Homo-oligomer: A and B are copies of this chain.
Amino acid sequence: MTKTPTLADVARRAGVSTATVSRCLNAPERVQRETRERIEAAVAEIGYSPNFGARALAAKRTDTIGAIVPTLENSVFARGLQAFQTGLVAQGMTLLLASSAYRPDLEAAQIRTLVARGADGLLLIGHERDPALYDFLALHRVPVLVAWVYDPSEPRPSVGFDNKAAMAEMTAAVLAQGHRRLATISGHTRFNDRTRDRVAGVRAAMAAQGLDPATLTVIETPYGIETGARAMADLMTAPHPPTAVICGNDVLALGALRQARAMGLRVPEDVSITGFDDTELSTVADPPLATVSIPHGEMGARAAIMLTEMVRTGAQPDSVALPCVLRLRGSLGPVPRAA
């Protein structure tokens, strides 16, 4: 019987102290990147399986999957997660969730907690986070699947859609109605690759039509009805208000719609408004919201199958891109004549 490699073996191989290896396992951000990489290589070379806390002591597999979403207040994540959970239950797995409130520090703590509590695998939203966290997960051999984005250039698998292309398509539909003075109400782009890609999509569609992307007015604000309404008020009281407001999601767009009504502006006669997500509420709005339908259900179902396979077989699947569909409803109309 071969001796099981220990923490001390890793330390010796990497040429660092056992304390450093231990720190690297538990708080990788406190260890230099170069040292982390050396330790990660040593772990891989000698086949060390880190044993710590509950994970070490629990059964080898727990049939528990963790997922961390930025918010629960937007039903769009809820719909994807519902399908993800249904898929996991069918495989005999239980889902434990955490919501990071769009805070990277909270997300980091939640990743650590889920690993310590024995999650077999993690579903995360978007690729962008401290690389130390990916190192931490690699060290603990917890597979990660990224959802809500599709980016095959990233080193880890994702299941999602191309946010930039989807938003470019919506913007092209807006431009086709004759609009030239555009504004975007966007969620914060820092730490959020989906948001950033959507704004980039608006600019790309403008450039493709020979318009200067620099003329796009962009307001960044937290996602919300109230924040969307305030941003709309700012846009429409400015000297040259836009004729079309392209919102980063439906919640912002519903806030903008409410504000337009409050200001006596007719939608779409005076101003067009578009959303992104196609939540159920986009059909409740009056007029119904033109938006981008994203494949929540399909994405959640695929994610369950992919992540279960990653956990059970150690496979590294190819990333999957799912199609989005434009829903051109009453809130988008031709540019006003006066404009």
- Output the least CB separation between A55 and chain B (Å): 8
Beyond A54-B57, A96-B114, whether A255 also contacts B284 by CB under 8 A is yes
**A76-129 CB contacts (< 8 Å) to partner B:** 77-79, 81-82, 85-86, 89, 94-99, 101, 106, 109-110, 113-114, 116-118
Q: Contacting A225 at CB < 8 Å: which of B73, B81, B281? A: B281
**Interface status of A298 (Cβ within 8 A of chain B):** no
* Alpha-carbon distance A10/B292, docked complex (angstroms): 60
Whether A284 contacts B285 by the Cβ 8 Å rule is yes
A71 an interface residue at 8 Å Cβ cutoff?
yes
Name the contact of A99 in the complex, choosing from B71, B85, B98, B118 (C-beta under 8 A).
Answer: B85
Q: Decide: A94 near B109, CB < 8 A? Known: A54-B54, A62-B117, A82-B101.
A: yes
Any chain B CB within 8 A of the CB of A338? no
Q: Which B residues lie within 8 Å of A281 (CB)?
A: 225, 254, 281, 284
Q: In the complex the two chains form, is A117's CB within 8 Å of B78's CB?
A: no
Q: Which residues of chain B are within 8 angstroms of A258 by Cβ–Cβ distance?
A: 283-284
| Count of chain copies | 2
Q: When the two chains form their complex, are residues B286 and A261 in contact, meaning their CB atoms are under 8 A apart?
A: yes
A59 to B58, CA, bound (A): 12
| A78-B71, A281-B225 known; A96+B96 contact, CB < 8 A | yes
Give the dominant DSSP class at A's interface: helix
* CB nearest to A112 among chain B residues: B94
Q: Is the CB of A106 within 8 A of B78?
A: no
- Chain B residues, CB < 8 A from A79: 73
Given the interface pairs A78-B71, A284-B254, the reply to whether A54 lies near B97 with Cβ below 8 Å is no
Chain B residues in 8 Å Cβ range of A54: 54, 57-58, 62, 117-118
Least distance between A281 CB and chain B CB atoms (Å): 6
**Chain B positions within 8 Å of A280 at CB level:** 224-226
A73 partner residues in chain B, CB cutoff 8 A? 75, 78-79, 82
Across chains A and B, which 9 residue pairs bring their CB atoms closest together, nearest first?
A57-B57, A72-B78, A54-B58, A97-B97, A94-B113, A117-B117, A225-B280, A54-B54, A73-B78
Query: A residues within 8 Å of B by Cβ?
Result: 53-54, 57-59, 62, 64, 66, 71-75, 77-79, 81-82, 85-86, 89, 94-99, 101, 106, 109-110, 113-114, 116-118, 224-226, 254-255, 257-258, 261, 280-281, 283-286
**Given A94-B109, A225-B281, 18 extra CB contacts under 8 A:** A54-B54, A54-B118, A62-B117, A66-B96, A72-B81, A72-B82, A73-B75, A73-B79, A74-B75, A78-B78, A85-B99, A94-B98, A96-B98, A254-B281, A255-B284, A257-B284, A258-B284, A281-B281
